[in-house]
Amino acid sequence: MHPPDGVTARVCFLLCLSVFGCGATETPPSDASADAGRSEDGATDAPRFDAPVDRPDAAPDAPSVDLAPPRPLAPPSGVAELAARPLLRWALPSGAVGAHVELCADRACSRVLHSFDATGSSGSPSERLRPGPVFWRLYSRGPAGRGTVPSVTWSFTAGRRDVARSIGGTGALDVNNDGYADLAVGAPGNEGSPRGRVHVYFGGASGLATTPSLTLQPPAEVVGNYGVAVCEAGDLDGDGYNELAVAATVTPVESGPSGRVYVYAGGASGLGVVPRTTLIVRDIAALHALSNRIRLARGGDVNGDGYGDLVVGLAVTAPFQGAVDVFLGSAAGLTPGPIVIPNFMPMSGFGTSVAAGGDLNGDGFDDVVVGADSEGAVRVFLGGAAGTAVTPAATLTVDAAGTGFQSPTVAGAGDVNGDGYADVAIASVAGGGRVYLYPGGAAGLGRVPVVLSAPVPGGSFTFPAGAGDVDGDGFSDLVVASLASSPATALYLFRGGAAGLATTPVSTLPTPDPAAVTFGERAAGFGDFDGDGYADVAASARTVQEYTGRAFVFRGGAAGLGASPAATLPGPDGPGGLFGTGLASGL
């Protein structure tokens, strides 16, 4: 037999490529190349999928069929994962037996970085992804072939730990789903508009914009405190875009509630300027000035349905005992009737501090942590298929040494030791302030914390915030602010690791402005504002320049946080604006 001529060979090659994908296969990496750039703890700096690929295990099913697409469930859109091969979960429609998964470099999926087929409702990529933003979508697979309609596109930030499971994914604000974290800053008291405003800054390849990308004006009913609390609410309706929640005060009608929470929907162009949802919260009408004690927290997904949820802390409710409302997300957004977690002691300040605890016990449902400042107690409420439980699974009133908590505040810490369980930070003002890091585990929150004390005495070391993975080692980190007269005012970064949280800070960030004694009182956790795979940190100082306020952005990197701000955001509203009172980016 004679070999085919050049023309015939080319036709055969193109036919093989189009039908079987035979020309697009890759040679599997050798053990040496697969381990290149990987550290002993499993972290890696070496991107694996910088160019589009079509994996041989993801060859198209034949023929295509009419099947509805799966619905993404986890990781939630906008989440920063610590794993380089996170476990993806979805809900299958009728007639589907599995999914075809595409992981892309852009939201339109014009560049597919990796794809794979999975039977059932979950799966992980076979090799580690590049650190940084990744977009993903799904097609159904049935006995007769693959569906032709893709799901909505979600995004996550891929981490560096080379494991095929999710590790402590934490949320970041990305209202336009472009893969870059955004920042929202509340200015509730400016003189030009005494009712307040919220300024939103979009992230990008060069980092955050230094002037507002958009400004949210208060609805007409608002009389003040608009922006006193702002919150990255997660993707409440499952469309792939994050929402933003803003607290405010209105004039009560017939002694009704005066607190409001406005929810703004994300979209391709950013946030809508008109609230999609208005929540009427149950504070005391006669004391409507105290609506500035409303607290907001991203609830994660407390019932595991793939929709984000919102936690509202109400420390001032009749008869002065406080409550916490958990609003569940759905395809239509937040459902109007919340799960009400009641307090158990009048005048306790229950709800003065609320946090998205993450999944503390690894059961697949996110949990809620609530502080009561007057009582000196912290309670943990577990998530479940029906939503958040109203009976606490744990109540903490003393630290490991038996010292009672004083005015405790709570913060989600991510997963500082990479064990797959979320951890929680609790701050107490006793003794000048200490921060206690309680690890999660299969039985829930552990009772033996890591204790952090102020590296420089004289400050109020009581303002923790989860920082995400600042140094790219695959473990969540924690920032803590210490407030006092300079030089004690500083922001400290404590590094996570396989052995847990370090007790000595790896980075010390002195206040950029000696007059900014409130520097770090509001720290927006983390967000990868520039898409380089390292979490960045924003912190504000709301009292500088006659209460104009400022926010500062510090870039993450292999060595930790830069000592000087990569960007300074001046308060746009002038003296009295209190720019930075509310801060939202992640966690």
For every residue of 203-223, DSSP letters joined together read --TT-S-SS-SEEEPPPTTEE
Determine the pLDDT at residue 523: 63
Residue 495 and residue 547 in one domain:
yes
Summarize pLDDT for 209-257 with one digit per residue, the tens. Answer: 899 999 999 999 988 889 988 999 999 999 999 999 999 888 766 666 6
Q: Is residue 35 part of a domain?
A: no
> How many Å apart are CA 338 and CA 279, to the nearest integer?
10
Query: For residue 515, is it within any domain?
Result: yes
**Shared-domain flag, residues 100 and 209:** no
* Confidence tier at 36 by pLDDT (50, 70, 90): very low
Bond preceding residue 487 cis, omega within 30 of 0? yes
* In a shared domain, residues 147 and 219: no
Contact 437, 427 (CB under 8 A): no
Is residue 372 domain-shared with residue 480, that is, in the same domain? Answer: yes
Q: Are 543 and 486 part of one and the same domain?
A: yes
- Whether 230 is covered by a domain: the verdict is yes
Greatest CA span in the chain, whole angstroms?
A: 96
Q: Is the pLDDT of residue 329 over 80?
A: yes
Is 481 within the bounds of a domain? yes
- State the pLDDT confidence band at 450, using cuts at 50, 70 and 90: very high
Beta bridge partners of 74: 89
pLDDT-derived band at 516, boundaries 50, 70, 90: low
Number of domains in the chain: 2
What pLDDT does 542 receive?
A: 76
Residue 346 and residue 385 share a domain: yes
Exposed (0-12), middle (13-18) or buried (19+): which is 502, by Cβ within 10 Å?
Answer: middle
From edge to edge, which strands make up the β-sheet containing 214-216? Answer: 214-216, 197-201, 183-187, 582-584
SS3 letters across 259-295: EEEEEECEECCEECCCCCEEEEECCCHHHHHHHHHEE
Q: Are 199 and 102 found together in one domain?
A: no
Say yes or no: 151 and 209 in one domain. Answer: no
Q: Report the range of poorest mean pLDDT among 47-51, 417-421, 461-465, 523-527.
A: 47-51
Identify the CATH number of the domain in which residue 120 sits: 2.60.40.10
CA atoms within 13 A on the CB side of 465: 28
- Mean pLDDT is lowest, of 29-43, 219-233, 396-410, 438-452, for 29-43
Cα within 13 Å of Cα(255), Cβ side: 2
Q: What pLDDT score was predicted for residue 404?
A: 82
Is 539 a domain residue? yes
Residue 125 domain-assigned (yes or no): yes
Q: Which of 323-332, 427-436, 470-479 has the lowest mean pLDDT?
A: 427-436
Residue 77 to residue 238: CA distance in whole angstroms: 8
Instruction: Decide which of 141, 166, 191 is a domain's last residue.
Output: 166
Domain that holds residue 94: 71-166
Across all residues in the chain, what is the average pLDDT? 82
Instruction: Evaluate whether residue 43 is within a structural domain.
Output: no
Residue ending a domain, among 166, 191, 222, is: 166
CATH number at residue 560: 2.130.10.130
Please indicate whether residue 374 or residue 122 has the higher confidence score (pLDDT): 122
Task: Specify whether 511 is located in the same domain as 539.
Answer: yes
Same domain, 149 and 196: no
Residues 266 and 384 in one domain: yes
Give me the sheet containing 477-483, strands edge to edge. Answer: 460-468, 477-483, 490-494, 507-510
In a domain, 31, yes or no: no
- When pLDDT is cut at 50, 70 and 90, the band that residue 259 belongs to is confident
Place of tokens 């006193």: 228
